């Protein structure tokens, strides 16, 4: 009985691999490698090799390196942006909004451990190759809603009037993603080895909220 010949490789769209969608695997690999070593230091060949395919497969799905970067921002970092936007939009209390915002950031980074390092490397740092792409993705309405809530709190005297609403949003991102990006360093300190996510949320929230509190009004007789 003759042995069956090996299947002929067909041109055109690649067959789906046995473990899932090849495109998703490539996108995950690119995101992880960009986070670990930076966009510039990561080659298409390295991304392909980490998934067990050739560079041609990367070009098949993403056409160019630029489109691959677009996909990382839109389909990976975009998930983080959507989570933040959803929370900000549904809250009008500035303090509840800030507390929830910190919680969402921490919860998302647990599911996306690559996010803090990628954010610092390619968005916050000068020359980051994903910065301009992300800025185009940020929803203006969300930022306006956040600012409006802070401004309203300032008018009521419960939020520090010296704070800049838009800069406060940036500060919250910085006070969460940066410490998380270098957590492997500070978690080596004996006093912080068992530091849990809830404690981190409390710390980051308190750091922001105490700066947000309006200065106590002094009675006329005490001046």
Whole-model pTM: value is 0.80
Is residue 144 very low, low, confident or very high in pLDDT (cuts 50, 70, 90)? very high
Per-residue model confidence (pLDDT) at position 208? 84
State how far the Cα of 79 lies from the Cα of 86, in Å rounded to an integer. Answer: 11
Domain boundaries, the chain: 72-214
pLDDT for position 218: 44
pLDDT of residue 10: 41
pLDDT value at position 117? Answer: 95
Residue partners of 71: CB distance under 8 A and separation at least 6: 27, 62
CATH number for the domain formed by residue range(s) 72-214 = 1.10.357.10
What is the rounded CA–CA span in Å between residue 126 and residue 38?
A: 13
Q: List pLDDT tens digits, range 15-54.
A: 445 444 999 999 999 999 999 999 999 999 999 999 999 9
pLDDT at 67: 97
The helix/strand count (H/E) of the chain reads as 12, 0
Q: Is the pLDDT of residue 80 over 90?
A: yes
Residues contacting 52, CB < 8 A, separation 6+: none
pLDDT in tens, 191-221: 777 778 888 888 888 888 887 665 555 444 4
């Amino acid at each position: 009985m003759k042995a069956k010949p090996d299947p002929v490789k067909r041109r055109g769209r690649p067959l789906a691999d046995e473990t899932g969608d090849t495109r998703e695997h490539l996108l995950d690999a690119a995101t992880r490698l960009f986070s670990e070593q930076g966009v510039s230091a990561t080659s298409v060949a390295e991304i392909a090799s980490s998934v067990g395919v050739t560079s041609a497969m990367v070009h098949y799905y993403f056409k160019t390196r630029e489109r691959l970067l677009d996909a990382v921002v839109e389909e990976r970092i975009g998930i983080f942006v959507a989570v933040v936007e959803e929370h900000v939009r549904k809250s009008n209390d500035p303090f509840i909004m800030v507390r929830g915002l910190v919680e969402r950031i921490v919860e998302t980074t647990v599911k996306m451990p690559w996010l803090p390092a990628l954010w610092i490397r390619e968005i916050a740092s000068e020359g980051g190759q994903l910065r301009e792409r992300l800025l185009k993705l940020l929803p203006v309405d969300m930022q306006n809603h956040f600012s409006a809530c802070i401004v309203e709190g300032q008018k009521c005297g419960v939020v520090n009037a010296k704070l800049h609403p838009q800069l406060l949003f940036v500060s919250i991102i910085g006070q969460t993603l940066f410490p998380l990006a270098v957590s492997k360093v500070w978690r080596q300190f004996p006093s912080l080895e068992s530091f849990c996510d809830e404690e981190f949320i409390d710390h980051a929230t308190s750091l922001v909220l105490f700066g947000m509190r309006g200065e106590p009004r002094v009675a006329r007789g005490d001046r």
